[in-house]
Structure 1
């Protein structure tokens, strides 16, 4: 009996050893992909929503929840859940591009739209700039579904462009606009175009080409409100635009201006049909405010993005067995953190609620002041009432004031005369020195830190609800998100 037990134990040990050797012999990529399942054999989703918060990872999501909780309750430990953070299926995605661990939006957008990696700056093509990748939006259109693309930045920017354009560089704005006008997609809405008549302003307007291709182009609030299915294909540009043909930050928007939620709601109205639809909605200005290290502007844009997702949830409530909603970011921006050395284990998010305009609007005031007083006459005392009114900064220390004085002096120099000093970049990045220093001081007092004016390479959360949603659990690459959505939608990844 003892011999038999010893023999069984020895056999088991040998089997385990063989298994270990076999696993060790497998290619590393095969091991890495062993737990990633993109296959789907269930019911296909008829309605697919893909929400992308540009620059949004866990820090931005968590900060928005803490900020929302601060607004909702006097209990400083109350965290306000977002519409998408309570989704039943959640995972994490890696974001590296083909040539760097820190991606930019064109490469990340290409991965999310097509399921393929590419180099930074390339849009919808491979790294050799010779192969064009089919996007999930194009495949959905070929299947007979209606397709919508929405963004609150210019609609020819990298993330929206990744769903319909194929260019060797994301900077080919006119060519990206041509791809939009020739796409045949049913609904474009949000920001405008960065180069509608080309870089030299000598080409046929993209808006005219779109009209000739059957699009109804609207750019007023009244026209947008009155859109109906009878209008056919639509290209709707928000009436109020800010810098770079983008919609204003939510913190700067006036009452009655069209919002990302409005664009989403109208998109659902126009796209709903018996063959189903695919709708991509980007919260693009989350990224821009994170580049500038402006936390108050960031969290308010995350909340505006969340409001757009709530519109999809209203539709989902009517079609729960036919709808898939996926929410993620393309990368993290700014190296945002909840925690700062000066506040240790405390946070004071009520402080950023005192900010009532974005860095972009504050920059305009700095420029006007510079033009008024001249380069040598900047005085911090002129700004102290403004900092109190617009940022709630009434508790400035001597150290704070010394930083602000140095930054104000730097901002008094005309931008065209400023050199490229590495030390200055570490302090202010490419932004207005006084503006970014003001938001840094406010953020730090709230317990929020930043590490960069660019992107970071951290993993990004994925949230899903509806048909096939369980496929998004786990830890996988950003290209897997595209493959999962395509399979659930019933189109074959190319």
Structure 2
């Protein structure tokens, strides 16, 4: 009897151990509760160096980096290691790798359902916000399905038909199909947007007056500085609406009993880095972080119902915090001498120079360069950003190139390495200023380094650790109670 009792006890213990092991092997759902309100912030071109530079410049941590869950995300496209914004946004919106240029389609051009469309299908309100044109690659990947990101008319038509509740930030690049590349011309996209019930506002007063009773909204900033985008934050005037304000208004308009999904893109971080303008990139990174602060303020009021995810699509420019000329030293305060972005300098100073009937002398520009960038041609090296003889020579050579109209149109590899297709004088000025700050660049394009992802709220713990950019969407599907797998659209 004792022997039988021993065997029974042993079997019971074994069964108990097996049960515990089985339970331990069962995948635990990321969250026992589905968040009602979801924010996905994407800093276009925002890698670790961009965030570090912004923190050092502002002398305080970014809100992004104080969120409790931090991860590292890889970014390759399906056909290239260094990704582009369309492929990266599609990965984050749909959970599927795709080729460069595809918008919410896989590499074989089969449409994919986006996480925003899934949210809308579940009865949530949906908002799409960007500091660049609202039909640019990143925002488009959440509501359009086209083989090429350059199909702006088709993207604009998709916006009109999306039924999403709030579009805000930049404008539309080709609503009338002036490029003539429409898959199927359906009339002016802006007219269709209005016909489909969207209230379109273009001034601060109209924007401020918006309330939830307005219904579906397309809010466009009054001044679109370049390519349908908001001005760089350092160029913004009082009449311009900031990314943070667009985000805050989105919260006001989208909040409802069924919850909402809002994607917010800081798109001009990328553009500034393409041009190697550190000051403009830093200011737009800080503006992006202020938009995150608006979401975090909402989260603090609704911690049991909200999820915030902040990521980037790729690094841009190969920004280096460290320059050979300053060795181990950095001088971020040097960048505070820059008053306007490279674009604003091009559109005002360079444009006026080129419109003159006679080519001006370089000497006539010296005071303008000093005024806008702090670079001094004379003075005390201890008290000014005194240019060295080789730097002055560099600027003079670039000035000659600019006045000849030399940009990327030249196939000369040396010219491209020096100026990257931007105005030679402008990019030479920012290069010299950045180097004096201890910042250097390796590229005028994207790089393949991993980027940071951070999160707070319901299900946020899923975003710690290391994972691919497709997991941004797949993890979110799981948190929302949706099968975590790419979904192909049904025609």
- TM-score, normalized by the shorter chain, greater than 0.5: yes
Structure 1 residue 490: deviation in Å?
2.8
1:327 is paired with a residue of what secondary structure?
strand
Specify the alignment match of 1:52 in structure 2.
Answer: 42
Specify the alignment match of 1:299 in structure 2.
Answer: 282
Mapped partners of 1:418, 1:123: distance in 2: 28
Mapped partners of 1:489, 1:358: distance in 2: 40
Mapped partners of 2:236, 2:106: distance in 1: 38
Select which of 445, 461, 474 maps to 2:452. Answer: 461
- Confirm or deny that 1:445 pairs with 2:436: yes
Structure 1 residue 416: deviation in Å?
8.4
- Confirm or deny that 1:153 pairs with 2:132: yes
Structure 1 446/384 Cα, relative in aligned 2: closer, same or farther at 3 Å? same
Deviates more, 1:378-387 or 1:312-321: 378-387
2:106 is paired with a residue of what secondary structure?
coil
- Confirm or deny that 1:269 pairs with 2:252: yes
Structure 1 residue 83: deviation in Å?
1.0
1:245 is paired with a residue of what secondary structure?
coil
Specify the alignment match of 1:139 in structure 2.
Answer: 118
Specify the alignment match of 1:366 in structure 2.
Answer: 350
Specify the alignment match of 2:370 in structure 1.
Answer: 388
**Aligned runs of 1:22-33 on 2, under 5 Å?**
none
Mapped partners of 1:183, 1:380: distance in 2: 52
Specify the alignment match of 2:19 in structure 1.
Answer: none
- Confirm or deny that 1:284 pairs with 2:260: no
1:445 is paired with a residue of what secondary structure?
helix
Specify the alignment match of 1:338 in structure 2.
Answer: 321
Give unmatched runs, 5+ long, in structure 1.
Answer: 1-36, 70-79
**Aligned runs of 1:72-471 on 2, under 5 Å?**
80-129=60-109, 131-200=110-179, 204-364=187-347, 365-372=349-356, 374=358, 377-394=359-376, 395-414=386-405, 419-471=410-462
Mapped partners of 2:367, 2:47: distance in 1: 35
Structure 1 436/297 Cα, relative in aligned 2: closer, same or farther at 3 Å? same
1:437 is paired with a residue of what secondary structure?
helix
Contact 2:315 2:448 in 1 (8 A): yes
Mapped partners of 1:138, 1:293: distance in 2: 35
Specify the alignment match of 1:25 in structure 2.
Answer: none
Contact 2:307 2:457 in 1 (8 A): yes
Mapped partners of 1:352, 1:263: distance in 2: 27
Structure 1 277/448 Cα, relative in aligned 2: closer, same or farther at 3 Å? same
Structure 1 residue 200: deviation in Å?
4.4
CA RMSD, Structure 1 to Structure 2 (Å): 1.6
Mapped partners of 1:270, 1:389: distance in 2: 42
Moved over 3 A (4+): 200-203, 415-418
Task: List per-residue Cα deviations over 1:195-232 (Å, max 9, x = no partner).
Answer: 01013479622111011111111112111111111111
Structure 1 residue 38: deviation in Å?
9.9
TM-score of the aligned structures, taking structure 2 as reference length: 0.88
Mapped partners of 1:152, 1:418: distance in 2: 28
Task: List per-residue Cα deviations over 1:122-178 (Å, max 9, x = no partner).
Answer: 11111111x111100000000000000000100000000000011010000000001
Structure 1 118/200 Cα, relative in aligned 2: closer, same or farther at 3 Å? closer
Contact 1:51 1:282 in 2 (8 A): yes
1:81 is paired with a residue of what secondary structure?
coil
Specify the alignment match of 2:8 in structure 1.
Answer: none
Structure 1 353/417 Cα, relative in aligned 2: closer, same or farther at 3 Å? closer
2:307 is paired with a residue of what secondary structure?
strand
Task: List per-residue Cα deviations over 1:14-59 (Å, max 9, x = no partner).
Answer: xxxxxxxxxxxxxxxxxxxxxxx99535211111000000000100
